[in-house]
């Protein structure tokens, strides 16, 4: 650090490189990971990779009622949606687990978080011009 308490350029570049390496590693872990969502007590199972791609869907024969095909089709559709949503929630949790600490680390590179980043209007959590001091809310 220089006498003013700021990181010198070499330290900043080294920290950025380390964060990039960690980000690439986390992205690879997500690409390789798979999570499962279930519905109907396991009658329908959906597998999603860590990037959110549906990779497998299994429907148990026990979910099929041959006496009432129309009702069965509707029930299976509902179970599939529920299982896929469950799997997507698991994938989102995994993404947060792997990527969250890296996002928090962005602030340690010299700022305290999104408020120190350039204005990114329209993106949640990032201030836009309307959020600047002295600007009346809603005056757009």
Write out pLDDT tens, residues 77-132. 999 999 999 999 998 888 888 887 776 666 555 444 444 434 444 444 444 444 44
Q: How many CB atoms lie within 10 A of CB 86?
A: 19
Tell me which fold the domain 32-100 belongs to. Ybab; Chain: A; (3.30.1310)
Q: Is the pLDDT of residue 8 over 80?
A: yes
pTM (2 d.p.): 0.60
Q: If you search the block for the tokens 């009658």, which residue do you land on?
A: 43
Cβ(79)–Cβ(64) below 8 Å: no
CB-based burial of residue 50 (10 Å sphere; 0-12 exposed, 13-18 middle, 19+ buried)? buried
List pLDDT tens digits, range 26-61.
888 888 889 999 999 999 999 998 888 899 999 999
Q: If you search the block for the tokens 């949606």, which residue do you land on?
A: 81
For residues 138 and 70, the model is more confident at 70
């Amino acid at each position: 650090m220089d006498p003013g308490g700021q990181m010198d350029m070499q330290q900043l570049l080294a920290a950025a490189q380390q964060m990039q390496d960690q980000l690439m590693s986390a992205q690879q872990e997500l690409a390789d990971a798979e999570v499962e969502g279930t519905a109907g007590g396991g009658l329908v199972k959906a597998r999603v990779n860590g990037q959110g791609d549906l990779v497998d869907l299994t429907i148990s024969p026990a979910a099929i009622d041959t006496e009432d095909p129309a009702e069965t089709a509707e029930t299976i559709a509902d179970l599939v949606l529920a299982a896929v949503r469950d799997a997507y929630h698991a994938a989102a949790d995994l993404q947060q687990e792997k990527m969250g600490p890296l996002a928090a680390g962005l602030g340690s590179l010299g700022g305290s978080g999104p408020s120190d980043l350039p204005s990114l209007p329209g993106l949640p959590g990032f201030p836009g011009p309307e959020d600047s001091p002295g600007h009346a809310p809603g005056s757009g």
